[in-house]
Chain A
Amino acid sequence: MSRRRAVLGGRIALIAGAVAALEMLCRSGIVDPLTLLPPSGMAAAMVAVIASGSVTGDILRTFTTVAVAFGLAVAFGIAVGALLHAAPRLRRALDPLLASYYAVPLFVFYPLLVALFGLNVVPLIVLGFASATVAMAMSTLTGLDRTPRVLLKAARVHRLGRLRTALLVVLPAASPDLLTGVKLALAYAFIGIIAGEFILSGSGLGYQIAYAYDSFDNRTMYGLMLFVLLIATAANAALHAWEQRVRRRRSGR
């Protein structure tokens, strides 16, 4: 327990140190404060931009888009993972596709998606979904592969039906890996959608950051940037903590 506390303390010190160093670099003028706002300035700018209400619509739009893409990606990914697990021949056939899927910079398809579906929310959802769903499917496969045989045998001994075996035995056993998939899916959907908004779009958080950059509005730019980074980190940390707890419980520690 004391070791865990020491690690946590070290982590807090590391982050606080990095923020303080950045603050000092900016305040002392080694880095031009017009180029890089000090962290305290970024925080103030973030509060001001959010409180002004000028970006509320964009925030809602980005979060809705991410939620839709993420929800679809998780549902589809789990379904595909379960299907491939049940059909080993199909799984082996798709192996080259799965192995090179994330080697392709998926983002290059985004302009084509815009041409296909128009400059609206659909290409963003497709991009977010495509970035996220394969990670979910692969994590589902890992989870199902790791489900101990003995648990399945125990389920048969207890004469559980397929549905009850899936819900009461397989799901809990595979849950740490499923959560890893959920965590990756959320990160990838968020990254893809913010990038899409940034490069080619007419609204959303990514668009507002690019717009602020183009119009030399550094305060808005840094404020929104910090907001996006904080949201992404908070969501990732929450899912990570949940995943760790489930993993510890499963390994019986």
Chain B
Amino acid sequence: MSEPARQARDALAILAVLTVAWQGAYEYAGAVAVTPPLGTVAFAAHLLGSARFWEHAAATGLALADAFAIAAVLGVLGGLALGLWRYAADVTEPVLAALYAVPKITLYPVILLLFGLGLPAKVAFGVIHGVIPVTLLTLSAVRGIRPVLLRTARVLRLTPRETMRHVLAPAVLAEIVTGLRLCFSLTLLGVLIGEMFASQRGLGFLIINGINNHDVRMTTAVVLLVVVAAVLANALLLATDRTLHRG
């Protein structure tokens, strides 16, 4: 069997197992807890045709786009700066790793107090989730550059700009894309959690509101749509990532 055919078959098998597990959860707990796969897909399709759903999706999308852009720029620049200055990297790396392991949700009230309710708080919360992994991966990529590359650049008398463009950037690009993939996932998580707590708009709000109003159909369908969107976005970034790592 050819490689793509095998992969497609494996993916279908995983999907089938997950669907059976989902149906099993429905049989076990009934419609008060979770709606079955077929009904959920139908309702999700209905949601995709409603303007109200797209208002919430747009709110989440806007917060995600802002937060991702800020986290990506801050993370890449911060990682480059720290990576080129070895002492600073040694000092900050464990601190950043420790911050990554902290439950950031506990900081959400502070962000709400500082930014007020609404878009800026959601963006800030997304940024604090997403910025650390890009910084760490960019930092380790810059630090891991083979010294011979930089020496060659010096021998060839490249200007700092040319070194950046022709040596540094190609050497760290693949790792940065890996970092951006993690950044995207975590930023999405941050934005959704932000919307679940003290918000009136967005997909996270729809999920938590469905539970509070005993509208499990809504919650299940929105969770499904979020998961599908996240997996698709990740697949796209992962494909880029793997191409770059091979090349």
- What residues make up the interface of A, taking CB atoms closer than 8 Å to B? 6-7, 10-11, 14-15, 35-36, 92-97, 99-100, 102-105, 107-109, 111-112, 114-116, 183, 186-187, 190-191, 194-195, 198-200, 206, 209-210, 213, 221, 224-225, 228-229, 232-233, 236-237, 240
Contact = CB atoms under 8 A, between A and B. Distances in A.
A11 B208 CA distance: 40
B98 A115 contact: no
Contacts of A111: 196, 207-208, 210-211, 219, 223
A232 B196 contact: no
A80 to B, nearest CB: 15
22 contacts: A11-B95, A92-B10, A93-B13, A99-B234, A100-B235, A105-B188, A105-B230, A108-B207, A108-B226, A108-B227, A115-B33, A116-B33, A191-B102, A194-B105, A198-B105, A200-B211, A210-B109, A232-B103, A233-B102, A236-B98, A236-B101, A236-B102
B197 A199 contact: yes
A14 B95 contact: yes
B196 A112 contact: no
Contacts, number: 162
Contacts of A109: 223
B87 A194 contact: no
B208 A200 contact: yes
B98 A237 contact: yes
Given A93-B10, A97-B14, A236-B101, 12 more contacts: A14-B92, A96-B10, A104-B230, A108-B192, A109-B223, A115-B219, A198-B105, A198-B197, A206-B105, A209-B106, A232-B102, A236-B102
A112 B91 contact: no
Contacts of B98: 233, 236-237, 240
Nearest to A241: B94
Given A15-B95, A200-B208, A195 B105 contact: yes
A200 B227 CA distance: 20
Interface size grouping (class) on chain B: 35 or more
B106 A36 contact: no
Q: Shortest 4 CB-CB distances between A and B: which pairs? A: A103-B234, A187-B101, A10-B91, A105-B189
B231 interface: yes
A202 to B, nearest CB: 14
B169 interface: no
Nearest to B13: A93
Contact of A116 (B29, B92, B196): B29
A116 B233 CA distance: 28
Contacts of A200: 208, 211
Contacts of B14: 93-94, 96-97
Nearest to A221: B109
A105 B220 CA distance: 14
B100 interface: yes
Contacts of A92: 10
B211 A11 contact: no
A231 B98 CA distance: 11
Nearest to A222: B110
A9 to B, nearest CB: 9
Contacts of A15: 95
B82 to A, nearest CB: 12
Given A112-B219, A115-B29, A115-B216, A229 B234 contact: no
B34 interface: yes
